[in-house]
Amino acid sequence: MQAAVTNIAKYWRRLAAQRLLARRRHAATVLRRFVKGFMTRHQSLSLDNSEFLQYVRREYLMRLAKQVPRSVLDKSWPRCPSSLRKTDDLLRPLCTRTLVRHYVRSLSPDQKNQLEQKVIAEVIFKGKKQSYQHSIPHYFLDHRLPEGTSAAILAHFEAKVKPGDEKTTYSTVVTKYDRHGYQSRSWILLTTNAALYLLEEKNLKLKHRVPYSSIKGISVSSLADSVFVTHIIPDTKKDKGDIILESAWLIETVTKICIVSKKVDMVHLEESGSICHTMADGKTGIIEFLHGEEPQITKSKNGTLTVVTTANGYSNGY
């Protein structure tokens, strides 16, 4: 009986040793193929590197699934193996298009309108106006009037100023500078689908109604100030002239006027440091734009309007 137990144990140890040897040989073969596949990974597909490249593809896709961007604004992207560069070049734009598609489909009508306005502002001001970058995070609003008087002003405008067939699209407080003497006055700017309106802030008296067909263009400087000049076509300006305005939300105000007038290309960014404006008697005036330590808008000794802006701009210029 003892001899039988010894024989069984002997043959079992032999079988276990054989199985262990087979596993080690198999492991050595796999490691050898893996190392050889790694060494030939940059070569064309062959029996030597096919399994290694398949492993690389699997690991790359699994890592990409965990690290793929989840937002349109996320520009990060996992590094890819050199053997999968063509695949990576296909997947990256595909992922971007998918994210953009989901983002666009999730936009509300108000968000879509906001995005369209921001795109137009970018076309007009990007790389041309120093205050443009600061305006990007701020939403464009339809009304910028003081909270306490906003409802009363809009009600008066709707009832007693504009024609009933016009729709109000934008309103904000602006500072108007006289063409002669450059005295500043607080006015209210409103736009409808047909014209631009300027009212006195104190008594809401109508001072200007300018149809969009009468606007020749809008000039702004390349600095971070908040002054813009609305040029009026001479045949329709009668005894007035160009209108000099300052808006604390210049980027927004000018963009709104361009959109409602359907004249996106009428804005001129002046880089020479001065803007000319016309007066009622045919004369011209000059507005000079300078850098300084303190922002200010004053009439200089030589009779020009001087706009001094710092690196951060006069007011906010958004």
Q: Is 274 exposed, middle or buried (0-12, 13-18, 19+ CB in 10 A)?
A: middle
3-state secondary structure of 143: strand
Q: What share of the chain is helix, strand, coil (3-state, %, to 5)?
A: 40, 25, 35
Which whole-number Å values give the CA distances from 9 to 2, 3, 15, 20, 164, in the listed order? 11, 10, 10, 16, 107
Strands (E), 193-304: 195-200, 206-211, 215-221, 227-232, 243-247, 267-270, 274-278, 284-291, 296-299
70 phi and psi, to 5 degrees?
A: -110, -5
Q: What is the dihedral of CA 198, 201, 204, 209, to 10 degrees?
A: 0
Given a contact cutoff of 8 angstroms between Cβ atoms, the answer to whether 107 and 122 are in contact is: no
97 C-beta neighbours (distance < 10 Å), count: 10
Residue 147 gets which letter from DSSP? T
One-letter amino acid at 282 equals G
Given a contact cutoff of 8 angstroms between Cβ atoms, the answer to whether 257 and 276 are in contact is: no
Q: Global pTM? A: 0.75
Which whole-number Å values give the CA distances from 41 to 64, 83, 93, in the listed order? 20, 7, 26
Q: What is the pLDDT along the chain (318 residues), one digit of tens a residue?
A: 788 888 888 888 888 888 988 899 888 877 777 777 676 667 677 766 777 777 888 888 888 889 889 988 888 888 888 778 888 899 999 999 999 999 889 999 999 999 999 999 999 999 999 999 999 999 999 999 998 889 999 999 999 999 989 999 999 999 999 988 899 999 999 999 999 999 999 999 999 999 999 999 999 999 999 999 999 987 754 657 899 999 999 999 999 999 999 999 999 999 888 999 988 777 888 999 998 888 889 888 888 899 998 865 544 556
Given a contact cutoff of 8 angstroms between Cβ atoms, the answer to whether 129 and 270 are in contact is: no
